Amino acid sequence: MRVTVDTGVCVGAGMCALTVPAVFDQSEEEGLVVVLRSEVPAGLEQAVRRALTLCPSGALAAV
């Protein structure tokens, strides 16, 4: 599973970083989503799927 993000629509709510801190962070300045590993480590797929549904802005996608 690979994740992609769209910082153009991200509203910095932090649900991604709260839910899967090993994959998502927020930038220091703007608080927008930062991907730490775009290739999701085995075992974290379910948590990443959860973050995708929790994200309020639709900024996250996975293929």
Partner 1 sequence: MTYPMSRQRRLDPPDELFDDPAPVRPLTFADGHVGWLVRGHAAGRAVLSDPRFSTEPDLQHPLVASRHLPKGRVPPGFFLRMDAPDHTRYRRLLTGHFTVRRMNQLQPRIEEIAATCLDDMERAGPPADLVRDFALPIPSLVICELLGVPYEDRENFQNESARLLRLDSSPGEMESAVDDLVKYFYTLIARKRVEPANDLLTGLIGGGELEDDEIAGMGFLLLVAGHETTANMLALGTFALLEHPEQLALVRDDPAVIDNAVEELLRYLSIIHVGPTRTAVEDVVIEGTTIRAGECVALSIPAANRDPSRFADPCALDVRQPAGSHLSFGHGIHQCLGQQLARIEMRVAYPALLRRFPSLRLAVPAEEVPMRADMSIYGVHSLRVTW
Interface residues with ligand SF4 (CB under 6 A)?
Answer: 5, 10-16, 26, 33, 55-57, 59-60
Contact at 8 Å (CB) between 15 and 55? yes
| Coil/strand/helix, residue 45 | helix
Contact at 8 Å (CB) between 8 and 57? no
Given ligand SF4, partner 1, none, residue 60, with its beta carbon under 5 to 8 Å by kind, binds ligand SF4
Given partner 1, ligand SF4, none, residue 53, with its beta carbon under 5 to 8 Å by kind, binds partner 1
CB of 16 to ligand SF4, least distance (A): 3
Residue 42 or 53 with smaller CB distance to ligand SF4? 53
Distance CA 15, CA 17 (A): 6
